[in-house]
A and B are shown apart, each in its own frame.
Chain A
Amino acid sequence: MTTAIADRRRLEGPRFKATPASAVLVLVIIVVAVIAAFPLAWMILTSLKTPQETMQVPPVWLPGAPNLDAYTQVAEVVSLGRSFLNSAVIAVVTTTAIIVTSLMAGYAFAKYEFRYKEALFALLIATMFLPPIVTLIPLYRITGYLGLNASLAGVIVPNLANAFGIFLMRQFIKGVPDELIEAARVDGASELRVLFQIVTPAVMPAIAALVLFAFVYHWNSYLWPLTVLQGSADQYPIVISLSRLLSYNRGAMNTGLVMAGATLAVLPPVLLFVILQRFFVDSVVSSGVKG
């Protein structure tokens, strides 16, 4: 009888008793969440204010008559569509390539036996811990040799593989049963078929996490695009256009414009996170615990 109740409780998820302690905790959680969300809320609110309101002292918190003027203006100042397109191309191409290269390498590390496997794995994973600034100077020269500077290809090509992706894929492919792979091989499937038709569907949650990780990282990335694209403004991703908005803005003092641009740039990665967050949290957990 008691166990039956306990079972039902477990099935229905956690039940919270209303006690003074839980009331205090809820209050703390709300306060922390408000503090965490405040900068983004301020950004959105400011993007809806009139230029006068953004300059008022002391600051006004809520726009008197919320309007989208700043959003139409920001499109006139920077080539917003082009910047968004550039960012999308960078993020989508690098993400797609990272998925493929990580699956292939992760599969080899998880399911093959070969000499120097552990050493090679360690070497590749070590690159994950190298701050990009350490390689920036010669890399700029190398992409110059390859004729990639001042082009989107220069942003993309050095980022087509990624150590974290290899690590994540290896962790998850290890869990795919060998029997499944053997059965496909016996049926005469090539290794690429085994990888993309048998293994890949079995690790979709990890792939979803990697999609989010890679997309967000390359959408947000600033240091390398700024370095490799020097001067070619029509290739700029949204984050660089946004930084130029500030210098344009210094004279005009229209904070709303900058905040409108920032709001637009924040939307794609945050929306993708909201959609895929379950997988992302799981993968951070697994990389933290197993790593």
Chain B
Amino acid sequence: MGAATTTATSSRTKNRMTNTQHRSAVFMLAPATGLLAVFIIIPMLLTIWLSFQNWSTQTGFETATFVGVQNFIDIFASNSVGRDFKAALVNTALYTVGSVAIILPLSVLLGLLVHQKIAPGGVFLRTVLFSTYMVPMIAVALVFSKLYSPTEGPLNQILGWVGIPPQTWLSAPQTALFAIVILNVWQQVGYFTVLAVAGLTQIPDSLYEAAKIDGANPIQRFFSITLPLLGNTLLFSSVIAIINAVQVFEPVALITQGGPVNATNVLTYHIRRVGIERAQGGLGSAMAVTLMLALVVAIALLFAFARSRETKSA
């Protein structure tokens, strides 16, 4: 009897507990979920919907008229709308590949420099590198526009000391995009170095000891132990680096305005110009959807590549 009552009470308590917990969960989740829904998830769905509409950003959503895939046809057409968009797409791809291709290897090298136990100064270096990540991109763009200045800037002066002729940097279409890649690398590499150090810390010392006993030199140890075991870190780093790279905006908006000759017209800048400044909301949304799809494809390819490496090495 007593036992039965206890069971009944406890199950009732448990029921009450889950009920309270359910209510609490709703209460705790409501603010963040509501805000993210209204300001990110719904706008994202609206972007997809708007990409099939003819719509001016200056009017309400109700003025949108369905045009099928016309916006997508337009942004890939061979007129000026299509040419500008395709240029922005290619520029963003080049910029992203350039940034990732420099940041990733550099972050591993700098990570080794921070992580090593032979010489002092590792933590100091980490602080210096990471502090550049705190600097507003606007300030970075302002400073680099002066560093790059062909005559009054110190970069060409330094190049001159070692016998390299002055570079055009931001002022010529051939070099402008790469100059912005360098600026981006300078600002971001500290963050990725910290990620690389986190990955290096996870590799057990015993592996290196064993390899040393087997007579592997430092370079062999790097390629047979360090690099393979950094796989997951590098995968995470590349995803973040890609997503960061497609967001490049400040240096373009501030210094080059997409020029010279469209050379630095990148997607974030172009989509904002079309969708907000020219108020062509439908066209801009189609561009944004294309960017989203391109990102999904790029990241899926990256994961497929990582998996194929994994199965090969296993």
Residues of A participating in the B interface, judged by any CB pair closer than 8 Å: 14, 16-17, 19, 21-23, 25-26, 28-30, 32-33, 36-37, 39-40, 42-43, 46, 54-59, 61, 100-102, 104-105, 107-109, 112-114, 120, 123-124, 127, 129-142, 145, 157-161, 163, 166, 191, 195, 216, 219-220, 222-223, 226-227, 239-240, 242-243, 246, 255, 258-259, 261-262, 265-266, 269-270, 272-274, 277, 280-281, 284-285, 288-289, 291
Contact = CB atoms under 8 A, between A and B. Distances in A.
Nearest to A100: B31
B99 to A, nearest CB: 14
21 contacts: A32-B113, A36-B128, A37-B128, A101-B35, A104-B31, A114-B22, A120-B29, A131-B243, A137-B50, A137-B271, A161-B35, A191-B24, A191-B27, A216-B134, A223-B250, A223-B272, A259-B146, A262-B138, A262-B139, A281-B126, A289-B202
Nearest to A228: B276
Contacts of A59: 152-154, 157
Contacts of B129: 32-33, 36
Q: Rank and list the top 10 A-B pairs by shortest CB-CB distance, nearest first.
A: A25-B119, A138-B46, A135-B43, A161-B35, A105-B32, A220-B136, A108-B28, A22-B119, A158-B39, A285-B198
B226 to A, nearest CB: 16
Contacts of A105: 28-29, 31-33
B291 A131 contact: yes
A266 B121 CA distance: 25
Contact of B138 (A19, A32, A102, A243): A243
Contact of B32 (A137, A142, A166, A285): A166
Interface string B143-183: 11111000111100100100000000000000000000000
Contact of B121 (A30, A112, A136): A30
Contacts of B306: none
Given A127-B41, A284-B195, A136 B271 contact: yes
A269 B291 contact: no
Q: Which residue among A134, A157, A243 has the maximum number of chain B CB atoms within 10 Å of its CB? A: A134
A223 B147 contact: no
B122 A29 contact: yes
A131 B39 contact: no
Contacts of B54: none
B131 A273 contact: yes
B284 interface: yes
B66 interface: no
Nearest to B249: A223
Interface string B228-251: 000001001101000100110110
Interface residues of B, number: 100
B135 A29 contact: no
Contacts of B268: 131, 133, 223
A140 B143 CA distance: 30
B87 interface: no
Interface string B40-71: 11111011001000000100110000000000
Contacts of A25: 113, 116, 118-119, 121
Contacts of A269: 134-136
A280 B33 CA distance: 25
Contacts of A37: 128
B262 interface: no
Interface in B233-290: 233, 236-237, 239, 243, 246-247, 249-250, 253-255, 267-268, 271-272, 275-276, 281, 284-285, 288-289
A138 B41 CA distance: 11
Q: Which residue among A37, A138, A242 has the maximum number of chain B CB atoms within 10 Å of its CB? A: A138
Given A137-B276, A160-B31, A285-B197, 4 more contacts: A25-B116, A105-B32, A158-B35, A284-B194
A261 B118 CA distance: 41
Contacts of B139: 43, 239, 242, 262, 265-266
Contacts of B121: 25-26, 29-30, 33
B186 interface: yes
Nearest to B270: A133
